[in-house]
Amino acid sequence: MVHPRHRLDEAFQTPIRFSLMAALESNTDLDFQLLRDLLEADDSVLSKSIAHLDKAGYVRVTKGLVGTRPRTWVQSTAKGHNAYRAHLRALRDITDGEFG
What pLDDT, in 10s, does the model give residues 32-50?
999 999 999 999 999 999 9
CATH number of 4-95: 1.10.10.10
**In the chain, domain spans:** 4-95
Q: How confident is the model at residue 100 (pLDDT cuts 50, 70, 90)?
A: low
Q: Is the pLDDT of residue 27 over 80?
A: no
**Where does residue 28 rank: exposed (0-12), middle (13-18), buried (19+ CB within 10 A)?**
exposed
- pLDDT tens, 45-97? 999 999 999 999 999 999 999 889 999 999 999 999 999 999 999 999 999 99
Please give the Cα distance from 7 to 83 (Å, whole number): 10
